[in-house]
Chains A and B, each alone.
Chain A
Amino acid sequence: MEQFFQQLTNGLAVGGIYALIALGYTMVYGVMKLINFAHGDLFTIGSYLGLTLLTSLMLTDRIGAFLGVLVLVVMVMGLVGVVGIVLERAAYRPLRESPRLSAVVSALGASIFLQNTIMLIYGAKFHFYPQDILPKMAINLLGFPVPLMRIILLLTSLVMMIALYLFIQKTKIGTAIRAAAIDQGAARLMGIDVNGVVMIVFLIGPALGGAAGVMVGLYYGQVNFTMGWLYGLKAFTAAILGGIGNIPGAMVGGILLGVIEALGAAYISIAWKDAIAFCVLILILIVRPTGLLGERVAEKV
């Protein structure tokens, strides 16, 4: 029971991270019908930028651990969002009218490009986050000790997801995004600036991915230039699991995948941990390609 509970909380924390990355995939897919293969690398950029800012600005020493990390996450989100916009301008906008395969290949090229840029700047070895940023204490939850870090991670991702959901549902820009997701041509005729919508999507998606990058760095303590591809693929699995193009779906799918993976690693085999996620991916695509929450046309984003 103890092990089950620990794995469950671990899975929830990691699942929150998957969900944040998955939101980037699902929003881009919703609006542009494109799998942004470079999204995983934007996530890596986020974790490296977080590491650089953390060690160079010493924010956590100056303004306290929690506030420091918060400011750090916000800064990284802004920077990665800008990278996302630049990426869209350079690699995807010229291909808006081309066949889908061209955009996919361009996305793969962008992924290779970004990954190797990170490698040239930081080197191929693992980098380590300082370990004493957030206090290492455990909170008693239902009689079991749960590391504070997991609770913070889960809460942070939940807050971001709820904020995004409200943004998409309640604001004017959110309505424009939903409209562009349903029919770009019709949205344009209704006076919606579709290019602006795409830009916002490429700001929010990578920003959330960048935040997830910092969170992974803080949770696992180490980052590597190739890690984005595995996290990206798993987050994509999460997006498919929940129903791609569907924002609540990405959240549910991410958390579900995190839990499935953690429990699978604990009870089946740790060596097959990554394979479990991909088996979930293949099964869901064979059995229910629309995902758990379906491709609800009216709310597709």
Chain B
Amino acid sequence: MKENRAIYGILLAGAAVILHLLMTIHGIDFQTQGGIFVILGLSLLLMEGHADVFNMGHMVGYAAFVLILMSAPLFLNRYWVDVLNNVGLYALLGLSLNIILGNAGLFNMGHASFYAVGAYTAAILNTTYDIPILCLIPMAGVAAGLFAAVVARPIIHLRGDYLLIVTIGFVEIIRIALVNNVFGITGGSNGIFGISGPNIFEFLFDTSRPKIFGLKFTKVHEFFYLIWIFVALTVWLFHRLESSRFGRALNYLREDEVAAEGSGINTAWYKLLAFILGATWAGMAGVLYASKMTIISPESFSFWESVLVFMIVILGGSGSISGAILGAFLIVGLPEIFRGFADARMLIFGLAMMLMMIFRTQGILPPRARVFST
């Protein structure tokens, strides 16, 4: 379908030119325009990679996505690189919830609590014992995983909606516990501040803030590569996991729990494993968040944080890796574009959720049907 490809190319280029002109008329500066184009472009490339919507081929889409994303810090200003950092963090959270919600079909609205456990573990250990952030990533992951094991064990048998409500209860209890300075180590409602950065490049080059290609390499860029390389590793790992025995067991469980049980799958055990794995990843994302912000407080881990991650998975396409990343781009990246209507942003968001469920229940990029070789 070569003609189609040309038509799509022309249409997209035309749309880009019109958008550029419109934004220029409205006095939006080039840096902001660049950010907007990168976020929109990356979202489209992700769709192309997953679903081949523009007939350019899956691999072309993904390859272009990776290339543009990795080179984005070279031409974007720090604000937009930071937006991409946030997108990356939420992509990690989305991917981790995708294991629980998408693959295993467990309605977990308590993801913010695992994220909080990871972030607070890192913050406490980093500020009181000076343990470097990079070492804390696995430690906090283990802490969040253990927390999930303890918390999820008694509630794992609950049916869909009930599980949803219980996990909401957990998020709120955790938040209240953090506000009330439980054990005297969480800093109450002020939170914890002075969390250090990863400082990889100082360690590698033994020089502060080196210039690469004439670009001043700052903390934002450091986090950009740290976060997105972590996302890449996660994608690779979870992709492998999907086709493993574990991944197939989870899918079976989601489709028909009784049949899965009948086929000899230990459903309670696999559900618990899904929870622990998702929580571990959320905990590790929490470390990156704490380090990036240098300050964390209970309000960052409220119920709405869970809703946001839940939406990322559902809107992107529950059970699909590209979907979770696209969801992060749409839910975290897109609102940055509409900063002008900051007040009405959440309103539109709510409306979009309703419309999405009515017109495209399965999400934008539902998982592709698995092909088995005969």
Contact = CB atoms under 8 A, between A and B. Distances in A.
A279 interface: yes
A101 B312 CA distance: 14
A120 B350 CA distance: 14
Interface string A102-141: 1111101111111111011000000000000000000000
B160 A100 contact: yes
Q: State which size class the interface on A falls in.
A: 35 or more
B170 to A, nearest CB: 7
A37 to B, nearest CB: 9
Given A282-B169, A282-B170, A90 B176 contact: no
B173 A113 contact: no
Contact of A281 (B166, B311, B344, B353): B166
Nearest to A114: B350
Contacts of A35: 161, 164-165
Given A117-B347, A236-B165, A278 B172 contact: yes
Nearest to A112: B350
Q: State which size class the interface on B falls in.
A: 35 or more
Interface stretch (B83-91, B130-138, B140-148, B354-362): B354-362
A57 interface: no
B99 to A, nearest CB: 16
B307 interface: yes
Given A233-B168, A275-B172, A286-B154, A109 B162 contact: no
Given A100-B161, A116-B344, A95 B358 contact: yes
A110 B349 CA distance: 10
A297 to B, nearest CB: 16
B255 to A, nearest CB: 12
B361 A286 contact: no
Given A120-B343, A286-B155, A279 B107 contact: no
Nearest to B167: A282
A102 B177 CA distance: 32
A105 B357 contact: yes
A98 interface: yes
Contacts of B161: 35, 100, 104
Contacts of B177: 275
A240 interface: yes
B313 to A, nearest CB: 10
A94 interface: yes
Contact of B164 (A104, A113, A278): A104
A116 B172 CA distance: 21
Contact of B160 (A101, A117, A119, A281): A101
A101 B357 CA distance: 9
B19 interface: no
A113 B343 CA distance: 12
A282 B166 contact: yes
A272 B307 contact: no
Contacts of A106: 353-354, 357-358
Nearest to B171: A278
A110 B350 contact: yes
B158 interface: yes
B190 interface: no
Interface in B101-141: 107
B243 interface: no
A35 B343 CA distance: 27
B346 interface: yes
B166 A271 contact: no
Contacts of B166: 281-282, 285
B303 interface: yes
A18 interface: no
Contacts of B361: 98-99, 102
A106 B310 CA distance: 12
Contacts of B173: 275, 278-279, 282
B172 A233 contact: yes
B300 interface: no
B165 A274 contact: no
A108 B307 contact: yes
Interface in B9-42: none
Interface string B350-372: 11111011100100000000000
B326 interface: no
B113 to A, nearest CB: 12
B180 interface: yes
Contacts of A240: 162, 165
Contacts of B169: 233, 237, 278-279, 281-282
A147 interface: no
Q: Considering residues B162, B349, B353, which has the most beta carbons from chain A within 10 angstroms of its beta carbon?
A: B353
B189 to A, nearest CB: 10
Contacts of B350: 108-116
Contact of A105 (B155, B168, B314): B314
Given A104-B107, A112-B346, A233-B172, 11 more contacts: A91-B354, A95-B357, A108-B311, A112-B349, A233-B168, A240-B165, A271-B179, A272-B180, A278-B172, A281-B169, A286-B155
Q: Which 10 A-B pairs have the closest CB atoms?
A: A109-B353, A113-B350, A112-B350, A278-B169, A116-B347, A109-B354, A106-B357, A275-B176, A102-B357, A116-B346
19 contacts: A90-B354, A99-B361, A101-B318, A103-B357, A105-B357, A110-B350, A112-B346, A113-B351, A115-B350, A116-B343, A116-B344, A233-B168, A240-B162, A269-B180, A271-B179, A272-B180, A275-B176, A278-B173, A282-B170
Interface of A: 35, 90-91, 94-95, 98-106, 108-117, 119-120, 229, 233, 236-237, 240, 269, 271-272, 274-275, 278-279, 281-282, 285-286, 289
Interface of B: 107, 154-155, 158, 160-162, 164-166, 168-170, 172-173, 176-177, 179-180, 303, 307, 310-311, 314, 318, 343-344, 346-347, 349-354, 356-358, 361
